[in-house]
Structure 1
């Protein structure tokens, strides 16, 4: 999982030039919303300005290097990467919270294994 903060055209996941897919990778917002926004903005607001900017970006921007593509797709890692790009501090707090919860669970397991359970010991001795 690589999270880069440089904009690249994502030709593999893109439909035409990969600009919307690149914006989705860069910002962490789903590509469907970028495409929908581009179409609606072209129709209702900017007219020909957005398609010209799209083509210019598609020609000028670098393609995403092959080593940045994930060949073994894991949806959980992808979701985490997108959340990290959207809100890095919140993602850090979430990871910290997960580690605290795991640490608590591990300490409970250790406590259960290491404490002397006299009732269990008597039952085992009676067998």
Structure 2
């Protein structure tokens, strides 16, 4: 896939108007309603400057590619990568260590002298 999963995109699928708030929510993992309320309050507090920034972002940011994430778990993973890449890499390393340990246990069990296992394998043949 050529699209970067760590880049900001406009989310036109969940958009009310231009997709900036839904893009921010997708990028950060924050609830979409909270982002919309925050942008509205920020626009009021800055006398409209936030609205100009909103329009500028809508003009500059690309649309979210179709099929960027394979599912909700994939989207959640990439949101975590964007928020803290170091934590994400340590989580991946931890998962691989766990898989490696479990495979080593299976290998030890399979290669050991286990007559019950040998009988079960012979029964399957």
What range is the shorter-chain TM-score in? 0.7 to 0.9
RMSD: 2.7
CA distances 1:49-76 after superposition (whole Å, capped 9, x unpaired) = 2223212332x224315xx322774111
- Structure 2, unaligned runs of 5 or more: 121-125
Aligned to 2:56: 56
User: TM-score when scaled to structure 1?
Assistant: 0.73
User: TM-score when scaled to structure 2?
Assistant: 0.74
Deviation at 1:113, TM superposition (A): 1.2
How many residue pairs were aligned? 116
Contact 2:9 2:23 in 1 (8 A): yes
Give the whole-Å Cα distance in 2 for the aligned partners of 1:28 and 1:72. Answer: 15
User: Does the C-alpha gap of structure 1 residues 72 and 55 become closer, same or farther in structure 2, counting only changes over 3 Å?
Assistant: closer
Deviation at 1:29, TM superposition (A): 3.3
Aligned to 2:42: 41
Q: In the alignment, does 2:107 pair up with 1:110? A: yes
Contact 2:14 2:22 in 1 (8 A): yes
